[in-house]
Amino acid sequence: MFFHKKIFLWGALFFSSAAFAQVAKYSNEFLGIGVSARALAMGGANAVSSNNVTAGYFNPANLLSIQSKFQVGLMHAEYYAGISKYDYGALAARIDSNSVVAASVIRFGTDNIANTLNLIDPNGNVNYNQISTFAVTNFAALLSYARKMPKLKGVDLGFTAKIIRNKLGPFGGSWGFGFDVGASYSYKKWKFAAVGRDITGTFNAYTYTLTDDQKNVLAATGNQIPSSSTEITVPRLVLGVSRTFSFWKNRINVMPEINLVTTFDGKRNVAIKTNAFSIDPLFGLEVCYQRIVYIRAGLNNIQQVVDITGANHTVVSPSIGVGIRYKIIQIDYAFTNFGGGQNAVGTYSNVFSLSIDINHLKLPKLNTNASH
């Protein structure tokens, strides 16, 4: 019984990362989590207001809001009671007053997974010394570029190239690549954004290195044996709008933001859904005092769930957070619900992030957000 349970748990985790269809409805989902405690505290609604190095992830056009020669960003989070680790690091560099480049890395990994494929030897004996461990990791490298459009007042454009590596321990993995494009437009205190993620489709080519003995064990325990395949992440469109409201002689700024994440692969369990497309709204709010202290809140992941009585309920994933900025250093904290709804257990996470400006510049014509 121990053997069968272990094989089932191992197989469920291992094969949930593999794709066997040409087009995958849920692919590279680790790239949908978001980066920075600021954004996660705002429910992921940051396509408009991401005005630092994290714009390379949310909307590359917003990299032009950076007012320093270089900027570094770091984040660490743990999910599922610390079982999975999520880490992010990025560096942005200003080329000139009209262009910025950035490089970002993201890793989502689950380490120390029990490998029980060799638990029983060919003679049928159980040998616990044969249990080893492996890791399932998702890794992405993002290269971004943003440029102002001098002939289009208030318009910035950017793109991000993505290289993706999914590693399934020693048993296989995939390489993938794709592109995001983004645009932002400012009008007085209003700001708008449009981001096309995986705009050309993101391709992941999976290969596996299972031995014949491992395949036999998986077949004997009812697990499906994978074969080499190509997984395609279909494009999605993110539209956003935000406005800054100032009070008390501009000492207090309030900035709400709404993002609409539209997918085109059929009906999903989100707030707005049709057979052709689905729209997942994200809501964020940031209040800052003197551009030093920040309080944030957000809502996302609006879903319909059915309880044990068969009744339908609407659930959401709330988040809150705080931040503080002192000169060139910004430290942020978020307490988030990682896609579990209001009644989920073990999905709340503490997220910390840090950004540092290096060689601060005075560029008065930069397109900056008034609240951050």
pTM: 0.83
**Residue 366 located in a structural domain:** no
Indicate whether 115 belongs to any domain.
yes
Range of the domain at 169: 2-360
Domain presence at residue 347: yes
For residue 195, pLDDT over 80 is answered with: yes
Instruction: Give CA separation, 224 vs 5, 17, 201, 208, 271, in Å.
Output: 16, 13, 27, 13, 34
Position 12 scores a pLDDT of 38
Overall domain count for the chain? 1
Report yes or no on 372 lying in a domain.
no
Would 368 be classed as within a structural domain?
Answer: no
**CATH number of the domain where residue 68 is located:** 2.40.160.40
For the stretch 38-80, pLDDT in tens is 999 999 999 999 999 999 999 999 999 998 999 999 999 888 7
In a domain, 136, yes or no: yes
Is residue 369 situated within a structural domain?
no
Do the beta carbons of residue 238 and residue 260 sit within 8 Å? yes
pLDDT in tens, 264-313: 988 888 999 998 899 999 999 999 999 999 999 999 988 888 878 878 88
What are the phi and psi torsion angles at 68 (to 5°)? -140, 160
In a domain, 304, yes or no: yes
